[in-house]
């Protein structure tokens, strides 16, 4: 199976940082679900679009400014792929992927991060989005589908806080000091980390 990594978690948990670092370090293709969701009420629809992406290699960007579908994009399903966003880790999507990560973080820190990142654009939609996240978690139980549950707190394991700091919670899969090494190896098996 071609390496496909689903990174899921609630808003502000650290999904984007982890996905960005891994894509940069491995050359994996990266699809952010923010480009899939059809508006602020579209978490469930965006989640379903991941299944289509993983089976066809095609996805259509949502134009947030015009509030309508935009251009089509393609990924090469024979190359490593990362799909990042709340709603990525469903039973249907996990069956099509090689690895799933659920990132957890306390609600207060997540909200501070998300609003610091997106500010006035996101603030009026925080409660609506949080309710959709709750419904998704109740419906899909993404943590139970994950191969790993990761703490999204900055500074864990002594990693520079400017980078994503991932601390495995369960199950531990590596004794390497670099917490990102196991995911780099998953996406790029030929890579040899020191």
CB 176 within 8 A of CB 194: no
Look at residue 142 and tell me whether its pLDDT is greater than 60: yes
Mean pLDDT of 109-128: 87
Contact predicate 57/75, CB 8 Å: yes
Long-range contacts formed by 129-133: CB under 8 A, 24+ apart: 129/11, 129/40, 129/43, 130/10, 130/11, 132/41, 132/43, 132/44, 133/10, 133/11, 133/43, 133/86
Residue, of 131 and 160, whose pLDDT is higher: 131
Q: Is 182 helix (H, G, I), strand (E, B) or coil?
A: helix
C-alpha span between 96 and 75 (Å, rounded): 15
* Cβ atoms of 82 and 31 closer than 8 Å: yes
- Name every residue whose Cβ is closer than 8 Å to that of residue 124 and which is 6 or more positions away in sequence: none
| pLDDT (average), residues 29-41 | 96
| Confidence label for 67 from pLDDT (cuts 50, 70 and 90) | very high
Q: Is the domain covering 4-187 a CATH 3.60.21.10 domain?
A: no
- Cβ proximity of 82 and 28 under 8 Å: yes
pTM of the model as a whole: 0.85
Least confident of 95-99, 111-115, 123-127, 178-182: 178-182
């Amino acid at each position: 199976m071609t390496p496909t990594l689903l990174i899921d978690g609630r808003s502000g948990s650290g999904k984007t940082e982890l996905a960005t670092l891994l894509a940069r370090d491995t050359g994996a293709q990266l699809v952010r679900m923010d480009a899939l969701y059809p508006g602020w009420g579209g978490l469930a629809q965006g989640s379903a679009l991941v299944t289509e992406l993983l089976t066809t290699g095609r996805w259509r960007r949502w134009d947030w400014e015009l509030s309508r579908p935009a251009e089509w994009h393609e990924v090469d399903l024979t190359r490593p792929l990362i799909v990042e966003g709340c709603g990525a880790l469903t039973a249907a999507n996990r069956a099509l992927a090689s690895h799933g990560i659920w990132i957890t973080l306390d609600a207060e820190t997540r909200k501070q991060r998300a609003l610091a990142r997106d500010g006035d654009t996101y603030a009026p939609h925080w409660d609506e989005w949080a309710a959709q996240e709750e419904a998704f978690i109740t419906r899909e139980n993404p943590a139970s589908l994950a191969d790993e549950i990761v703490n999204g707190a900055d500074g864990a394991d002594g990693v520079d806080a400017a980078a994503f700091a991932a601390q495995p919670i369960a199950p531990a899969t590596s004794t390497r000091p670099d917490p990102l090494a196991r995911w780099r190896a998953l996406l790029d098996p030929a890579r040899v980390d020191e």
